[in-house]
Amino acid sequence: MNGTFAAHLEQVRTHRGELGEAMAALDAALALPVGLGPLWRQRVLAALTELAHDLRVHVDLTEAPEGLYADLRARAPRLAAGVDAQLADHVFLVEEVTGLLDERDDGVQGDAVAAHRERLNKVLHRLARHRQRGSDLIYEAYSVDIGGSG
């Protein structure tokens, strides 16, 4: 692993922690009682906005032409199916988070709040699996632990 790519991998590791923190913040906001009304909506919106930002950074880092997924394909072609699954997750996650943000902007009210909360929980679950699979791919290709905290 050359120095430039090692620095990139360190950047991915650092950002992984930030993404994990954004996920934890959204999970904490979702755990608040919906009965808090505007306060619940504000906290969820703030956490979702941060998650959307961190997700975009994650996609940019990993999908860069000289980035993680390009290197994984070159270094370990046997892992191409795993990389493809990660890329498909990116499409789904970005679209879903964007849609959820749009709903928030429209002002989710009444019975729609429960469905909105459920979709958010499903996104968090899918994102957790995505991070696990990414960690496994990196370890498989480089024998490097990207870190489980954050």
User: Residue 96: its pLDDT value, please?
Assistant: 96
User: Residue 148: its pLDDT value, please?
Assistant: 55
Q: Which two tokens stand for residue 93?
A: 């996650």
Cβ contacts of residue 112 below 8 Å, gap of 6+? 103
Cβ contacts of residue 141 below 8 Å, gap of 6+? 71, 72, 75, 76, 79
The model's pTM: 0.89
For the chain, the domains span 3-142
Q: What is the CATH number of domain 3-142?
A: 1.20.120
Secondary element (H or E) of residue 133: helix 112-142
Q: What is the mean pLDDT of each run of 10 residues along the chain (150 residues)?
A: 82 93 97 90 94 97 93 92 97 96 70 87 97 92 67
